[in-house]
Amino acid sequence: MQRSCRSLSTFLSSNRGFCTSSKAFINDKIVASVLFERLPVVIPKIDPVVYGFQEFSFRWRQQFRRAYPEEFLKKSDARGKGEYHIDFVPAPRITEADKINDKKSLQRALDRRLYLLLYGDSYGTPKGQDVWHFPEKVYKSEETLRKCAESALESVIGDLSHTYFVGNAPMGHIAMPPTDKKKDTPSFKRFIFKSQVIATNKVDIKSKDFVWVTKDELLEYFPEHSEYLTKMIIS
């Protein structure tokens, strides 16, 4: 028994690679990014197959519905036809921003989620080379990584009163090792937090350029990470 315990302790002490010093990660920078989204404003169109099934289910239930007295039905029809009656006209799904493909407007793709992308300097790219990226900030001395993400978004929109951060933990992360094209740039890790636009349809963006894009459009801006982003962004 003593021999087996001694051999086990020897094995653990010689094979604990996961417990070694983290010097390899000390020099890695940590970047907090924000996936800033606008939720759908209108209900998405129902798939024709789903609509057909709902129509069939409704007609099937109508066969067994309870027959109400004619007097009751007449009273229900008369409700809302007084002087306070208002004819409801739904707003169009296709807006002017959709017609001219204005990606700087939140009044487009009302039945889809929109995500904010900025154009400018980004950590990990050569100086002077502007690229499309999420709002970001290099982690320094903030209390938490979420605080760093909040600071990154605040520097772009100026005020967080119309935002909501979903949780305290990031929704995903991407390890960025140095490449042949970026040998001078050290490796770093990008942690992505989710935040949402709340109770407003206009956000003032401080950036060289910006766009509000759908998920499909967003993937076109990051072809090298499209597979990962497809799994991370569920919409």
Question: Each residue of 149-171: b (16+ CB within 10 Å) or e?
Answer: bbbbbeebbeeeeebebeeeebe
Percentages of the chain per state (helix, strand, coil), in multiples of 5: 35, 20, 45
Say which amino acid occupies 111.
D
Question: Each residue of 179-211: b (16+ CB within 10 Å) or e?
Answer: eeeeeebebbbbbbbbbebeeeeebebebeebb
The per-residue pLDDT string of the chain (235 residues; one tens digit each, 9 = 90 and over) reads 444 444 434 433 443 333 333 344 456 789 999 999 999 999 888 899 999 999 999 999 888 877 777 777 676 666 555 566 667 788 788 999 999 999 999 999 999 999 999 999 999 888 888 999 999 999 998 999 999 999 999 999 999 999 999 999 999 999 987 766 656 667 899 999 999 999 998 999 999 999 999 999 999 999 999 999 999 998 7
Indicate the Cα dihedral angle 178, 180, 184, 186, nearest 10°: 0
